[in-house]
Amino acid sequence: MTFPPLREELRGLEPYGAPQLSPELVPVQLNVNENPYGPSPECVADIAASVAAAATTLNRYPDREFVELRAELAAYLSRDTPHGIAPEQVWAANGSNEVMLQLLQAYAGPGRSALSFAPTYSMYPEYARDTGTRWVQGRREDDFSLDLARARDLVESEQPAVVLLPSPNNPTGTALPPEAVSMLCEAAGDGLVVVDEAYGEFRRAGVPSALELLPEHRNLVVTRTMSKAFALAGARLGYLAADPALCDGIRVVRLPYHLSAVTQAVALAALRHRDELLGKVDELRAERDALVDWLRGEGFEVADSDANFVLFGELADRHAVWQAMVDRGVIVRETGPEGWLRVSVGTPDEMKTFKVSLTAAVAEVT
């Protein structure tokens, strides 16, 4: 036995994570789908004042039920559904990764399975691994959409405890139509269907949120995050909306006081500044659509995107192109099918630099 005596199934595995290169060396960071716009001085001042107020009581544990934050998140989500969202339908944790891990801790685990359709977010199988859940992987079509009949057959035959359906999907940007969500909720029986809307706010006009379907399906869970459109990745706040009974189940597995008083104060301050923080979403969407057009004009294959990133290919040697771009101060992500790269949508200046560096990198490598 080697030391330390790591669980057998974890031995030799690398921790998940994109390469972190210093912005001094690589100034254009387009690899982890962040919002490129930081908060204004007014917003920073409000966040700082809120943290200062929270600091006066840091000798005490925080509100374990984060009552105020749940109410504000529910009010925010209610914009996206005519049915509204009540505070008891909301649960939050340190990033939507933690929310989904808690979901599997409570509702999957040994003797149960979780399912998604590849290519998709590479953390999903890790939640399964870490909770002793059997992982079942379906496939997306060549255009990264789901063949609904095949997807339904797989869900019916596997009866997974949890189906993870990102919409838009990472790394492809593909959104799911509401009829797909409904069909899979029905096929899943008592299994949960988690629609991961981490990038939901970036969806194109006319694509409704799965939040609208909550009253029809008691097994539906919609997860969101403040890391992307909300421009708050550093604060670590993710959340979900679902049947209140489902939130109660998560309470059994959550660690006590998992959301710190500082996190709650920062998230509440950010929610007060939601208009500013979300204010760049329209610009980012327009920038994304222009990027898709430019890449297609250059002859690349490009996946349709409802997110703040774009997947493009096919490159004979994607690693060489990625490296040649890093050498020019631009980092994108090597992810998705072999031969494809994913680029996050940045500021107009960053996009100009991206285009120049991609063109030069491709010319250098081929």
Q: Give residues in contact with ligand PMP (CB under 6 A).
A: 33, 95-97, 121, 166, 170, 196, 198, 225, 227, 233, 238
Q: Which of helix, strand or coil describes residue 23? A: coil
Provide the minimum distance between the beta carbon of 93 and ligand PMP in the complex, in angstroms, as a whole number: 9
Residue number of the CB atom closest to ligand PMP: 95
- From residue 5, how far is each of 8, 15, 119, 130, 182 by CA, in Å? 8, 17, 32, 16, 44
Nearer CB in complex with ligand PMP: 180/362: 180
Provide the minimum distance between the beta carbon of 166 and ligand PMP in the complex, in angstroms, as a whole number: 4
Nearer CB in complex with ligand PMP: 26/226: 226
Rounded Cα–Cα distance for residues 181 and 185 (Å): 6
Nearer CB in complex with ligand PMP: 225/357: 225
Nearer CB in complex with ligand PMP: 145/170: 170
Provide the minimum distance between the beta carbon of 33 and ligand PMP in the complex, in angstroms, as a whole number: 6
CB within 8 A of 17, min separation 6: which ones? none
Element (H, E) at 286: helix 281-297
Q: Are 123 and 265 in contact (CB under 8 A)?
A: no
Provide the minimum distance between the beta carbon of 298 and ligand PMP in the complex, in angstroms, as a whole number: 26
Q: Are 223 and 238 in contact (CB under 8 A)?
A: yes
Nearer CB in complex with ligand PMP: 196/201: 196
Q: Which of helix, strand or coil describes residue 48? A: helix
Provide the minimum distance between the beta carbon of 224 and ligand PMP in the complex, in angstroms, as a whole number: 8
Nearer CB in complex with ligand PMP: 50/120: 120
Q: What's CA 161's distance to the chain center, in Å?
A: 21
Strands (E), 217-335: 220-225, 238-241, 301-302, 309-313, 330-331
Eight-state DSSP code of residue 89: G
Provide the minimum distance between the beta carbon of 106 and ligand PMP in the complex, in angstroms, as a whole number: 18
